[in-house]
């Protein structure tokens, strides 16, 4: 499918999705969110893709939901269309691993989109925030929920109540991002991480993603049980036999996603 607000490239088993509305700092309007969801679903269904990277521009990953598009909507309109529910559900239903490569602003819906990915690699220029309070609204796609789970109540309250931005170093310290790299190296580093994931068994990677995500939904004992059962089930795969045999034979594993 041809897209107007994103650019998609597939190379070496990795789909790189670039948000591309430079004039609006990649603000997430209906078209962009729709195209992003479609691209993610296509990547999820594409046998050539084993990992996905979402990035923006050097200046902005995404500066939030599109304020121009939202500004005149009424309560009944946003309630009736269930604004942002579809994007939240579709993005979090993707089963292949997704890395957010964030440079510049990741604000409001932009920060929330990054948090819906499986992990975040940040450029040293990245700025994260939930500044919706300055617009007379609150976060609407996880900014009060996922952010709180990731960085704790105090910092989440600080960001949601003051609207201040958090730089990459603070975000790494708080546990929001997995690593910080020089801006010029961001996409290279994210593609390198994606490449590493792409070399694993996709079945195993999807199982690992599912298990980590359960930790946000379940009590610890239920999560541990879920993990153990999935761990047990991996012994039904050929990739478990191959992975362990390769270790014992001191050679690289040849996974076949079976």
Q: Is 141 exposed, middle or buried (0-12, 13-18, 19+ CB in 10 A)?
A: buried
String of contacts with ligand HXC for each residue 63-102, x by CB under 6 A: xxxxxx---------------x------------------
Residue 64 annotated among the catalytic residues of the structure: no
Q: Which of 10, 78, 133, 135 binds ligand HXC (CB under 6 A)?
A: 135
Instruction: Report if residue 115 touches ligand HXC, rule: CB under 6 A.
Output: no
For ligand HXC, which is the closer residue by CB, 56 or 109? 109
Core vs surface per residue 200-239: b (16+ CB within 10 A) or e: bbbbbbbbbbebeebeeeeeeeebeebbeeeeeeeeebeb
Active site residue 210: no
Nearer to ligand HXC, 66 or 189 (CB): 66
CB 148 → ligand HXC: shortest distance, Å? 16
Output the six-digit token pair for 57.
């521009």
Determine whether 132 is an active site residue: yes
**Minimum CB distance to ligand HXC smaller for 40 or for 139:** 139
Point out the catalytic residue in the list 27, 56, 132, 139: 132
Q: In this chain, which of 107, 147, 186, 191 binds ligand HXC, going by CB under 6 A? A: 107
Nearer to ligand HXC, 28 or 101 (CB): 28
Q: What is the nearest approach in angstroms of ligand HXC to the Cβ of residue 123?
A: 15
Q: How far is CA 211 from CA 91, 123, 131, 175, in A?
A: 17, 28, 31, 19
Is residue 217 flagged as an active site residue?
A: no
Query: Out of 112, 172, 189, 227, which one is annotated catalytic?
Result: 112
Note the residues at the interface with ligand HXC (CB under 6 A): 24-25, 27-28, 63-68, 84, 105, 107-109, 112, 131-132, 134-135, 139-141
- Active-site residues, by number, are 65, 109, 112, 132
């Amino acid at each position: 499918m041809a897209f107007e607000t994103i650019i998609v490239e597939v190379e070496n088993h990795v789909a790189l999705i670039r948000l591309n509305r430079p004039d609006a700092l990649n603000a997430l309007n209906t078209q962009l969110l729709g195209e992003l969801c479609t691209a993610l679903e296509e990547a999820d269904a594409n046998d050539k893709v084993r990992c996905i990277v979402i990035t923006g521009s050097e200046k902005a990953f995404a500066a939030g939901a599109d304020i121009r598009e939202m500004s005149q909507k009424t309560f009944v309109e946003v309630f009736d269309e269930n604004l942002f529910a579809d994007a939240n559900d579709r993005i979090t239903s993707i089963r292949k691993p997704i890395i957010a490569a964030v440079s510049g602003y990741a604000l409001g819906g932009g920060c929330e989109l990054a948090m819906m990915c499986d992990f975040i690699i940040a450029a040293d220029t990245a700025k994260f925030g939930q500044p919706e309070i300055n617009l007379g609204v609150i976060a609407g796609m996880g900014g009060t929920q996922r952010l709180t789970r990731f960085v704790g109540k105090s910092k989440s309250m600080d960001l949601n109540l003051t609207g201040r931005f958090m730089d990459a170093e603070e975000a790494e310290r708080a546990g929001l991002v997995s690593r910080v790299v020089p801006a010029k190296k961001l996409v290279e580093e994210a593609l390198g991480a994606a490449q590493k994931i792409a070399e694993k068994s996709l079945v195993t990677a999807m199982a690992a993603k599912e298990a980590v995500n359960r930790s946000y939904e379940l009590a610890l004992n239920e999560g541990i049980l879920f993990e153990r059962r999935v761990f047990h089930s991996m012994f039904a795969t050929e990739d478990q036999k191959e992975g362990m045999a390769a270790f014992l034979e001191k050679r690289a594993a040849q996974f076949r996603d079976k």
